[in-house]
Structure 1
Amino acid sequence: MLDGSDTASDARLRAAGLRVTATRSAVLDALTGMPHSSADDVFDRIRSALPGTSVQSVYNALGDFVAAGLARRIEPAGRPGMYELRVDDNHHHMVCTSCGRIDDVDCVVGEAPCLHVPDSAGYDIRTAEVTFWGLCPNCRAETVTPERRS
């Protein structure tokens, strides 16, 4: 900040080894309030507060966050890249096939990476990405017809 005070976002950026800029701070704040956001979602959220910011600068900030381990990029099929700040675990995602809502799912079985591959594959597996597809509770409730309720 210009007055010399340090926000929580500024401290997180510094701890990740990143230089604090107005765009990075705004992008980090936006992601804090909107997990599973696309770069366009983040840009829409910050552009009124930072009128000189471009979509490209948001992409740059998000790329810097991913490279520094501050954010994670997920790519559900048929969706743009989405970003989240939950990076310290090996969680998975549920995606609603109706409204597109995305929710986190903790590791499904066992310790990370949650899935076991044959040792003969030769890989040293570090993470596994699992995406569950279905209807969220709100969309499920909307699909219940009056006949099914009685």
Structure 2
Amino acid sequence: MTSHPVAALDAAARIRAAGLRVTDSRRAVIEALDESPHASADEIFALVARGVPHTSLQSVYNALGDFVDAGLVRRIEPAGRPGLFELRVDDNHHHLVCTGCGAVQDVDCAVGPAPCLTPAESHGFAVSTAEVTFWGLCPACAAASVPS
């Protein structure tokens, strides 16, 4: 289990709290995201299929879409990568993405509360969130790139 606050609720309770019907597939998707934050739909499907073999990839996509629409799951889209999904939706955090292995880590907002970054010119937009992706090498990839 991850350490974010929603981990205290079981999967069924989270789904019900979002106003959605609980199914085996939906419960398994939430459990997969607890096990593997920042997973793609294909990665989630592989985890779900182990416990709920009758689940289809389409049902995983449907559950993820419903969860995103209900605010239960957040979709992030790092450039050049498939969409990734996470359960940490209660804040406006950002992400570190390794350019070597693709690992993704959460990082808290750079400055203050949401949206935590203010554009130089809002052009009349009422900004509610800011999405920042920091790119670089994770410690393992950085260590591997240093000649011995």
> TM-score if structure 2 supplies the norm length?
0.91
Q: 1:51 to 1:142 in 2, by over 3 A?
A: same
Is 1:110 paired with 2:82?
no
**Aligned to 1:68, which of 67, 70, 75?**
70
* One-letter code aligned to 1:10: A
Q: 1:102 to 1:120 in 2, by over 3 A?
A: closer
Alpha-carbon separation, structure 2, partners of 1:119 and 1:101: 32
Aligned-pair distance for 1:120? 5.7
* One-letter code aligned to 1:22: D
| Number of equivalenced pairs | 140
Partner of 1:37: 39
Partner of 1:137: 139
SS at match of 2:50: coil
Q: What are the Cα deviations for residues 92-120 of structure 1, in whole angstroms up to 9, with x where unaligned? A: 00100000000011001122112112466
Q: 1:120 to 1:95 in 2, by over 3 A?
A: closer
**Superposition RMSD in Å:** 1.3
SS at match of 2:75: strand
- Following TM superposition, the consecutive aligned residue runs of length 4 or more in structure 1 with deviations greater than 3 angstroms are none
* One-letter code aligned to 2:49: R
Q: Highest Rg: 1 or 2?
A: 1
- Structure 2 gaps of 5+ residues are 1-8
Percent identity for Structure 1 against Structure 2: 64
- Structure 1 gaps of 5+ residues are 1-6
